[in-house]
């Protein structure tokens, strides 16, 4: 399992980074490995509100459908439409394949740095 040292992580295995005033959200390598090969991604629409701790979309593997839980509250500014046709990108390149970008962030969950996230995964 790899952990990108430059990102912050939620306890629900999403990663977060700041880029051009937006918060970019994806899922960690740990998450994609646990989910298995993904075959479908359900994304919100641009302009939708997201709430910290609540689902903003879901991903489907051959095993199960799992909610994507937002680590922040704000407004969806961009979605990665490429994932709709190629959900496997989340498996192949979890730290490259972002899912949504959020603007007007009003609240953020307490996030873990890479070292703390690694310890958190080791316990899981």
Chain residues binding other proteins by CB under 8 A are: 37, 39-40, 62-65, 87-88
Q: DSSP per residue over 17-49, as a string?
A: EEETTEEEEEE-HHHHHHH-SEEEEE---TT-E
Closest approach, Cβ 116 to other proteins, in A, equals 23
Min CB(54)–other proteins separation in Å? 10
What per-residue string of b and e applies to 38-66 under the rule 16 or more CB within 10 Å gives b? Answer: beebbbbeeeeebebeeebbebebeeeeb
Question: With respect to other proteins, which residue has the nearer C-beta, 1 or 65?
Answer: 65
Q: How many CB atoms lie within 10 A of CB 96?
A: 10
Q: How far is the CB of 92 from other proteins (least distance, A)?
A: 12
Compute the least distance from the CB of residue 24 to other proteins, in Å: 25
Whose Cβ is closer to other proteins: residue 63's or residue 115's? Answer: 63
Residue closer to other proteins, measured from CB, 7 or 97: 97
Tally Cβ neighbours within 10 Å of residue 92.
11
């Amino acid at each position: 399992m790899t952990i990108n040292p430059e990102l912050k992580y939620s306890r629900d295995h999403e990663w977060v980074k700041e880029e051009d005033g937006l918060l970019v959200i994806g899922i960690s390598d740990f998450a994609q490995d646990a989910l298995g090969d993904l075959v479908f991604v359900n994304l919100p629409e641009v302009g939708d509100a997201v709430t910290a701790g609540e689902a903003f979309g879901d991903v489907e593997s051959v095993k199960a459908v799992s909610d994507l839980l937002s680590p922040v509250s704000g407004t969806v500014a961009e979605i990665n439409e490429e994932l709709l046709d190629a959900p496997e990108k989340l498996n192949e390149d979890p730290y490259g394949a972002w899912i949504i970008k959020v603007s007007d962030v009003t609240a953020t969950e307490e996030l873990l740095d890479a070292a703390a996230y690694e310890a958190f995964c080791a316990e899981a």
